[in-house]
Structure 1
Amino acid sequence: MSLLFIVFTLCPLHTFASEAISKEAISTNITAKEIIRQAMNHWRGVSSYSQMSMTIHRPDWQRIMTMQAWTQGDKHSLVRVIEPKKDAGNATLLKDNNMWTFSPKINRVIKIPSSMMNQSWMGSDFSNKDISKSTEILEQYEHQLKQVFKQDGHTVYVIIAIPNEDAAVVWGKEILYVRDDFVLLEEQFWDQDGKLVKTMKAMEVAELGGRMLATRLRMNNHEKPDEWTEMATKNAEFDVALNAHVFTLSNLRNPR
C-alpha cells in the first residue's frame, strides 16, 4: 500500500479483546505469505487511483496535506501533493524497485538510493517506502503464522515476517495483523535489537471503491509518543485504466 498503504504495540502478541484460536484449530490451507500477498493485492488492486489527506501531528504544530496516488501492479506507484500551495507538486515515483522524488522548489528530480528508502517522507512518520506501498516484504522476508483470533466477527491472522539473511532491509522483524477479508489492520516495525520502533494502525475501516479498506491509518513513533501521522483515504477506485505515461519521470516532473 505502501499507500501504502498502508498498521501497534505487541506484548507479547495482541492486546485487543478477542477470542483466541489455537493454531491446531486453523482450518485453512492458505500460507502466511499468501495472506500478506492477498492483503497487498486488496490494498493496491490490479491498478488504483486514490485521493488522500495526510495529517502530521507534533506537540507544538500540525500540518495537513492533500494528495493523489496511482498504482499499477506491484512495482509502480506515484504519489503527488496537491495542497497546500507551498507543497503542491512534490511527488514520489516508484518504478521497478527504483524511486525518484520531484521538488518544484528546486525544479529537480532526485533518485532515492536504497539507503534512504526508510527516511521520512515530507517530514511525516511514514517513510519513502511506506508511502510508495512497497511490496518488499513479500520478496525479502520469511513469513510465519503465529496467532489467530476472532474480533468483531472476523478472523484475524497474526504474521511475523523475518528478513532473509541477505536482505538489505533495516528492520529486524515486522508483525502484521490481517483480517479474513484481507484488510491490513496493523503493522509493527521492530529494530535489529528487538525494540518496537513504530506502528501503523487502522483507526477506521469502511467500504470504499467497492471493497472494505482501512480508510484512516495512523503511524506512531514509539520513541516520541506525542508525534504521529495519519493518512485518510477520501476516495478510491480500483482496476482503473492507466496510461503508461503516468509512471514516467516526465510525468513526475510535468504532470499532464
Structure 2
Amino acid sequence: MKLLHPKVISRMMLLPLLMLLSALSLAEYNGLTAEEKGLAIAREADRRDLGWRDSSASMSMLLRNRQGDESLREMRNKSLEVDGDGDKSLIVFDEPRDVRGTALLTFSHRVGDDDQWLYLPALKRVKRIASSNKSGPFMGSEFAYEDISSQEVEKYTYRYLRDETLNGQGCFVIERDPVDENSGYSRQVVWLDKAEYRVQKVEYYDRKQSHLKTLTFHDYQQYLDKHWRASRLEMVNHQTLKSTTLTFTDFRFATGLDERQFNQSGLARMR
C-alpha cells in the first residue's frame, strides 16, 4: 500500500525540492520543518517502491459484523504501474455466487479525481463511481472506494508528528490530510517503519475529526529483491464495530500486463 501535495504549487516547480528531500539521510531530516520532513518521508517511501511494472494476486475478503458473524469473498487483483500518473487496478470477484463477476476498475491519478467503474452482473451494466461517493463502502466492506485507489503522494499534504516504536519497530509517524474535498476523511495518521519505509498502520479520522477506522499491515514479504507487500490487511471500524480482513496470496510481478487488461468496455466480460 502506498503517501503530499502542496495544493497550489505545480509538480514541475516542486521537482528540484523533492529530489533533494529524497536524498536526505535520516540525520538531515532534523533540519526540516514538520511539513518538509513529512513530505520527505512520504516521497522516500514512494521512491523505494518504483519499478514494479505490474502485479497480480489472489485475494480473500473476510467481513465481520459487530456480533462477530463472518462472510467470505474470493477475488483476483491486477495492478499496472503507470509512468507519470497513478496506478491502475482491477478487482474481480469469484465467490460467492451472488457476487461472482462483479468487477471494480480503478484509474488512480496523482492530481484530480480518480476514475472508478463498478460492473454489477445482476444489473448487467457498468456503474461509474461518482467523486462524491468515493467515501462509500466497497462491496459492504470497511474499505471505502477511495481506500482501494493507490495512495499517491500528491493526494495529501503532510506533517511529521514524532518517532515511535510500534510492535518492536522504530517508526516515523506522520499526518496526511486529503486534498480532495470529497474525501470521507479529515486526516490520516500513518506509521512507517524506518528500516524499509513500509506502512505499518493508518488511523482514519472522519470529517468531524472523530477516530473512524484503523488499518494495520501484517506479514510483509519482499518480491524481486525490492518490493514489499503485506500479506494481510486488517481494517477495523471503531464506530460500527465491524471489520474487514484482506488476505493476499500468489503475488506475481512483471508478468507482462498492459493497458489492454484495464479496459472499461471489457468489464462485463471478466471471468
Identify which of 55, 59, 71 aligns with 1:52: 59
What does residue 33 of structure 1 align with?
39
Identify which of 260, 263, 266 aligns with 1:245: 260
Identify which of 106, 114, 127 aligns with 2:131: 114
Cα displacement string for residues 70-123 of structure 1 (whole angstroms, at most 9, x for unaligned residues) = 111223111111122222111101125211000111111000100111111111
- How many residue pairs match? The answer is 229
Residues 215, 64 of structure 1: CA spacing in aligned structure 2 closer, same or farther, 3 A cutoff? same
Give the TM-score, by structure 1 length. 0.79
What does 1:67-86 align with in structure 2 at a 5 Å threshold? 67-73=75-81, 74-86=86-98
Q: Contact 2:60/2:247 (CA < 8 Å) preserved in 1?
A: yes
Gaps of 5+ in 1: 3-24
Taking the aligned partners of 2:131 and 2:161, their CA distance within structure 1 comes to 30
Identify which of 154, 170, 173 aligns with 2:184: 170
Residues 43, 158 of structure 1: CA spacing in aligned structure 2 closer, same or farther, 3 A cutoff? farther
Gaps of 5+ in 2: 3-24, 30-35
Cα displacement string for residues 193-247 of structure 1 (whole angstroms, at most 9, x for unaligned residues) = 3210111112x2232534443211111111123x210001112123332132111
Give the TM-score, by structure 2 length. 0.75
Aligned AA for 1:52? M
Q: CA RMSD in A?
A: 2.6
Residues 43, 108 of structure 1: CA spacing in aligned structure 2 closer, same or farther, 3 A cutoff? farther
What does 1:98-137 align with in structure 2 at a 5 Å threshold? 98-131=115-148, 133-136=149-152
What does residue 87 of structure 1 align with?
99
Q: Contact 1:158/1:177 (CA < 8 Å) preserved in 2?
A: yes
Aligned AA for 1:71? S
Identify which of 59, 62, 73 aligns with 2:70: 62
Q: Offset at 1:47?
A: 2.0
Aligned AA for 2:246? M
Residues 140, 183 of structure 1: CA spacing in aligned structure 2 closer, same or farther, 3 A cutoff? closer
Residues 168, 115 of structure 1: CA spacing in aligned structure 2 closer, same or farther, 3 A cutoff? closer
Q: Contact 2:102/2:118 (CA < 8 Å) preserved in 1?
A: yes
Q: Answer 1 or 2: higher relative contact order, Cα 8 Å, separation at least 6.
A: 1
Taking the aligned partners of 1:40 and 1:64, their CA distance within structure 2 comes to 32
Q: Contact 2:92/2:270 (CA < 8 Å) preserved in 1?
A: no
What does residue 7 of structure 1 align with?
none
